[in-house]
């Protein structure tokens, strides 16, 4: 078992060294779609150059439009203004560009740069003249293109790199405790990253660039973080794919920035389970599978694997939905199936070996059975015949007892009694062999049970007289029953003989018969030594004899009650016993009136 456990743990360890990014990302996205949408901070709105703007202006906005836009926006008094549009790529005159640059400086616009320059390369963040004084901060678009799942979906955000914080980290610290650690933060290639707590597209309030430009509608931008971007569906570079959708236009960059910023403001980043947790979960499931394979039947084992898979999915979903905790699912799943297909052949080898051992033991048992049958035949022919001669010669000697002394007569009587006991033992063993080897077929005939009882009492009366025991019968008138007379007679004989054998001298044995609830009940009650409670459940077992009986040197084979119960059971009947030590016993034989 230790080797099996070590093997299961080894499989778990090997598989947890592989991330299975593509499959894990697929299950990650499913959990995102199913989990309840996280709340927002209500601090962020987006303003996009959209199709409405292009249609109204009949062109793309130029520098002069942005100057007018910023003047309108300034009147709404936003708290922070983030530009994802590169102002150096806007069409306009140099004078207009300089005016836009000065206006941006006065509004303290933050430009979301799409890169994280290394130390000493700060100029890479700067916008070209005349926008050099704009506050340019790293806020790059991320997507899993060359690493991780490689499916071009955005799931992560860079919080800091090369010792430089992102604009999201800087701004979020204005709204939350700076000393509070960021949830889900992990190190990767010299950067600190976390998983974005995405909301479905359209969660954040979105305004059209044109509406702000024309002061249409009442805009609620006061004290808000306003993110300006593009949503005109002309170029896929302005959009990202999200866990909610793989469409090329799933979410504009401005809304991606809103999700990133809100993730840090609310500190709701998705925490990726550490390797030791994944290893522990994987080991647990692999050990359960090991137990199931080696202990449970295949059908139940398959059902257990399905239940474990569903349980893993439920646990992973609940952890993700309510605690933003991402458990690895692929590693435990692969480990379960790997262990299943690894240990199934092992189980088949064990079962084949057990089958071979069973066949070997079965062959040995067949040989023993053959020896037993030979022994039975020997007792039947080679023992009973000499015993019959001994009994016959004892009878002749006792009949012609004129020349025998009293001591010699007693010796001959002892020989006769001993041979009779041995003959009865042999008969019981032969009956047992017949029952176990060939079974017993019933030969049913209509018989009067009372008549059978009276004949047995007359036959066994001499045995009772030896101990001065009185046999009393109280028999109710009964209809005839279809029974096998020989078997029922043998069962009743055993009960009455036992009552006489285990009763003290000068006592009584009561034999009754009556009809109770469509059954014929025959009771044999004695005033003998009784049976203890701890032995009552064993009296009908094969070769069982009470300790009190063996101590009193009372002869018996321990087969009489076993055979009696078997013979009565063939008639769909039963034998039960009630007894108290030193107060006698009552055996009740029940036979149904209608065997059907």
Residue-level pLDDT at 380: 59
Residue-level pLDDT at 267: 92
Residue-level pLDDT at 408: 76
Question: Given a cut of 70, is residue 561 above it in pLDDT?
Answer: yes
Strand, coil or helix: what is 522? strand
Spatial separation of the C-alpha atoms in residues 86 and 232, rounded to whole Å:
15
Residue-level pLDDT at 136: 92
Summarised one tens digit per residue, pLDDT across range 27-46 is 999 999 999 988 999 999 99
- DSSP character string of 287-313: HHHHHHHHHS-HHHHHHHHHHHHHHHH
Query: Nearest to residue 487, comparing CAs of 386, 595, 578, 391?
Result: 595
Length of the chain: 596
The set of residues, in sequence order, having a beta carbon less than 8 Å from that of 553 and lying 6+ positions away, is none
Q: How many CA atoms lie within 13 A of 518 on its CB side?
A: 5
Count CB neighbours of 349 within 10 A: 10
How is residue 376 written in tokens? 């039975």
Mean pLDDT (whole number) for 339-348: 73
Q: Residue 96 class from Cβ within 10 Å (0-12 exposed, 13-18 middle, 19+ buried)?
A: middle
Q: How many CA atoms lie within 13 A of 181 on its CB side?
A: 6
Summarised one tens digit per residue, pLDDT across range 303-333 is 888 888 899 999 999 999 999 999 999 888 8
Question: 304: phi > 0 → left, psi -120 to 50 → alpha, else beta; which?
Answer: alpha
How is residue 147 written in tokens? 């690493």
Count CB neighbours of 288 within 10 A: 17
Summarised one tens digit per residue, pLDDT across range 372-382 is 667 666 665 66
Question: Given a cut of 90, is residue 109 above it in pLDDT?
Answer: yes
Summarised one tens digit per residue, pLDDT across range 445-503 is 888 999 999 998 898 888 888 889 999 999 988 888 888 888 888 889 889 988 888 88
Contact 562, 449 (CB under 8 A): no
Query: Nearest to residue 283, comparing CAs of 536, 529, 8?
Result: 8
Residue-level pLDDT at 103: 92
With 0.85 as the threshold, say if the pTM is over it: no
Q: How many CA atoms lie within 13 A of 21 on its CB side?
A: 11
Percentage of the chain exceeding pLDDT 70: 90
Q: Can you give the C-alpha Rg of the chain in angstroms?
A: 49
Residue-level pLDDT at 379: 61
Question: 184: phi > 0 → left, psi -120 to 50 → alpha, else beta; which?
Answer: left
| Window from 172-181, 335-344, 564-573 with minimum mean pLDDT | 335-344
Residue-level pLDDT at 79: 92
Strand, coil or helix: what is 85? coil
Query: Nearest to residue 57, comparing CAs of 182, 232, 177?
Result: 232
Residue of 335 and 229 predicted with greater confidence: 229
Handedness of CA 141, 246, 16, 14 (dihedral sign): negative
| Window from 119-133, 422-436, 488-502 with minimum mean pLDDT | 422-436
Strand, coil or helix: what is 128? coil
Please state the domain extents for the chain. 2-17+273-347, 39-267, 360-436, 442-592
Summarised one tens digit per residue, pLDDT across range 1-27 is 777 778 778 878 888 888 888 999 999
CA separation, residue 47 to residues 83, 87, 89, 213 (Å): 10, 15, 18, 11
Count CB neighbours of 392 within 10 A: 12
H or E stretch at 105: helix 94-107
Spatial separation of the C-alpha atoms in residues 476 and 448, rounded to whole Å:
11
Number of helices (H), then strands (E), belonging to the chain: the values are 18, 21
Q: For the chain, report the end-to-end CA distance as a whole number of angstroms.
A: 52
Mean pLDDT (whole number) for 98-107: 92
Contact 47, 228 (CB under 8 A): yes
DSSP 153: B
CATH class of 442-592: alpha beta
Spatial separation of the C-alpha atoms in residues 537 and 539, rounded to whole Å:
6
**Which residue bears the tokens 């469509």?**
518
**ω into 340 cis (within 30 of 0):** no
CA separation, residue 8 to residues 15, 143, 290, 309 (Å): 11, 36, 7, 17
Mean pLDDT (whole number) for 93-106: 92
Nearest 10 degrees: Cα torsion 349, 355, 358, 359: -120
The average confidence (pLDDT) of the chain is 85
Strand, coil or helix: what is 73? helix
If pLDDT is split at 50, 70 and 90, which confidence band does 429 have? low
Summarised one tens digit per residue, pLDDT across range 278-292 is 889 888 888 888 777
Any bridge partners for residue 474, and if so which?
512
CA of residue 386 relative to chain centroid, distance: 66
If pLDDT is split at 50, 70 and 90, which confidence band does 551 have? very low
The set of residues, in sequence order, having a beta carbon less than 8 Å from that of 67 and lying 6+ positions away, is 96, 99, 100, 103
Strand, coil or helix: what is 594? coil
Count CB neighbours of 267 within 10 A: 18
Strand, coil or helix: what is 274? coil
Summarised one tens digit per residue, pLDDT across range 431-448 is 666 666 556 677 888 889
Mean pLDDT (whole number) for 61-89: 92
Contact 196, 154 (CB under 8 A): yes
Contact 126, 88 (CB under 8 A): no
């Amino acid at each position: 078992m230790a080797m099996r456990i070590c093997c299961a743990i080894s499989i778990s360890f090997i598989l947890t060294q592989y991330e299975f990014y593509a499959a894990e990302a697929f299950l990650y996205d499913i959990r995102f779609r199913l989990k309840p949408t996280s709340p927002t901070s209500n601090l962020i709105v987006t303003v996009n150059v959209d199709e409405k703007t292009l249609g109204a202006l009949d062109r793309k906005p130029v520098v002069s439009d942005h100057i007018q836009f910023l003047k309108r926006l300034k009147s709404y008094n936003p708290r922070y203004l983030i530009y994802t549009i590169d102002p150096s790529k806007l069409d306009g005159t140099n004078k207009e560009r300089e005016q836009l640059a000065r206006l941006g400086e006065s509004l303290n616009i933050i430009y979301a740069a799409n890169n994280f320059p290394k130390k000493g390369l700060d100029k890479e963040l700067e916008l070209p003249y005349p926008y050099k004084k704009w506050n340019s901060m790293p806020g790059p678009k991320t997507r899993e293109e060359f690493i991780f799942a490689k499916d071009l979906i955005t799931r992560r955000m860079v919080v800091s790199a090369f010792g430089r914080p992102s604009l999201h980290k800087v701004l979020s610290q204005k709204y939350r405790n700076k000393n509070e650690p960021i949830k889900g933060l992990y190190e990767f290639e010299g950067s600190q990253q976390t998983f974005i707590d995405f909301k479905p597209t359209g969660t954040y309030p979105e305004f059209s660039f044109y509406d702000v430009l024309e002061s249409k509608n009442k805009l609620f931008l006061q004290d808000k973080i306003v993110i300006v971007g593009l949503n005109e569906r002309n170029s896929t570079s302005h959009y990202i794919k999200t866990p909610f959708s793989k469409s090329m236009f799933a979410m504009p960059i401005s809304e991606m920035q809103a999700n990133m910023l809100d993730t840090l403001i609310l500190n709701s980043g998705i925490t990726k389970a550490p390797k030791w947790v994944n290893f522990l979960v994987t080991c647990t499931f692999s050990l359960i599978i090991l137990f199931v394979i080696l202990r449970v039947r295949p059908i139940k084992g398959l059902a257990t694997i399905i239940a474990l898979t569903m349980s893993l999915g439920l646990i992973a979903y609940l952890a993700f939905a309510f605690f933003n905790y991402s458990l690895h699912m692929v590693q435990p799943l692969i480990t379960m199936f790997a262990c299943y297909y690894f240990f199934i052949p092992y189980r088949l080898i064990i079962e084949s070996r057990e089958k071979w051992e069973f066949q070997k033991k079965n062959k040995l048992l067949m040989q023993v059975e053959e020896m037993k049958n030979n022994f039975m035949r020997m007792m039947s022919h080679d023992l009973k015949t000499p015993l019959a001669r001994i009994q016959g010669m004892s009878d002749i000697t006792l009949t012609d007892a004129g020349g025998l002394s009293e001591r010699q007569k007693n010796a001959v009587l002892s020989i006769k009694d001993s041979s009779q006991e041995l003959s009865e033992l042999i008969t019981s063993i032969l009956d047992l062999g017949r029952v176990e080897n060939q079974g017993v077929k019933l030969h049913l005939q209509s018989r009067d049970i009372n008549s059978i009882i009276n004949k047995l009492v007359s036959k066994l009366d001499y045995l009772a007289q030896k101990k001065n025991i009185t046999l009393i019968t109280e028999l109710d008138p009964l209809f005839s029953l279809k029974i096998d007379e020989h078997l029922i007679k043998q069962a009743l004989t055993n009960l009455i003989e036992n009552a006489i054998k285990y009763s003290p001298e000068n006592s009584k044995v009561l034999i009754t018969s009556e009809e109770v609830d469509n059954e014929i009940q025959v009771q044999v009650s004695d005033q003998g030594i009784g049976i203890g409670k701890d032995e009552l459940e064993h009296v009908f077992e094969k070769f069982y004899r009470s300790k009190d009986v063996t101590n009193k040197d009372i002869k018996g084979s321990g087969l009489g009650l076993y055979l009696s119960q078997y013979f009565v059971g063939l008639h769909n009947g039963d034998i039960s016993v009630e007894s108290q030590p030193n107060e006698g016993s009552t055996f009740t034989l029940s036979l149904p009136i209608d065997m059907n």
